[in-house]
Structure 1
């Protein structure tokens, strides 16, 4: 069974991903970063952890073949396909109100942390802790000890696929960042396409 939907720019959405199912995220315009989280469906206190994943990885950045582990060090997702140049991030925390305030924005601004909270609450799983996300398509390389932010290297139509080891709740946020080059030189967040294939 294939379920496809559009994740609108600046918004988040949480949904169930069954064991063995494949999640495909297509960067329609090529320039949109997608913050990605995963929680065990039977216990959301166990979640995909970039810190624990990096310890067990042989690569400096996430890519095809990476096994994303939980805060209990158990496999949750595997990176099974990537048609993009393979530039993704697993260091940056999700943006939040404080981040935009530091950038000089006054007032409320859409952000990935709030997108995660709202999406999980809507699904019946309110959370307080915001894990570090897998930032798909984000171009933030380590440069001599500093992290720069550059437009995504992905191209229109590029996609990634992740496969679930166990039943999960996945949350995606089409990053609302419009004060840096995170989502392209035009700094305009855009829609992405999401497909879930259950076998």
Structure 2
């Protein structure tokens, strides 16, 4: 197993048919997750297109996760958690933390995405909205949202199977101002492994 350190990001290349198992080691950590076509960074996992493809804002076991060109890039092959993953909230960035009152630099998922891609030498891209694994954003009947605590438990994991050659990026979200990473608002590490 490899580690995505708390507040940091990692990127992994997957060949079509390979999979990645991402483990919520402590049960409380949100992982912003992206996938890009390995041969074309302008094609990427798209939450807007996913909603229409699966008819839901919550992806479930067996769902094909589609790109902005409406073709599968990953399949959610396994999910041991209650299945509450967010697909509506953008990745945190310096602007989000400034709006929350930060006056100094704050680690963020947008910067983690670009740093992780740079480690692989992958071209810089825009920042698509991520699949926020284990992020619990309850949506009320009137459309209002709240910042909930994760419903997952320690050791819960997902397996994402690559449908095309792709680059998967994970950010152990550094959010420590609202309780999406648990009641104590403390970001922690997660683990992952590539599966054949």
Cα displacement (A) at 1:126: 3.4
Cα displacement (A) at 1:58: 2.8
Report 1:81-120 matches (<5 A). 81-120=78-117
Q: Give the 3-state SS of the residue equivalent to 2:54 in structure 1.
A: coil
Query: TM-score, normalised on structure 1?
Result: 0.95
Report 1:37-116 matches (<5 A). 37-116=34-113
72-81 or 55-64: which moved more?
Answer: 55-64
Query: TM-score, normalised on structure 2?
Result: 0.97
User: What are structure 1's unaligned runs of at least 5 residues?
Assistant: none
53-62 or 8-17: which moved more?
Answer: 53-62
User: What are structure 2's unaligned runs of at least 5 residues?
Assistant: none
CA distance in 1, matches of 2:125, 2:77: 30
Over aligned residue pairs, what C-alpha RMSD do you find?
0.9
Pair 1:191 & 2:189 matched? yes
Q: How many residues align?
A: 195
Task: Give the alignment partner of residue 166 of structure 1, picking from 164, 167, 174.
Answer: 164
Q: Give the 3-state SS of the residue equivalent to 1:20 in structure 2.
A: coil
Cα displacement (A) at 1:121: 1.6
CA distance in 2, matches of 1:125, 1:60: 29
Structure 1 residue ranges, 4+ long, deviating more than 3 angstroms after superposition: none
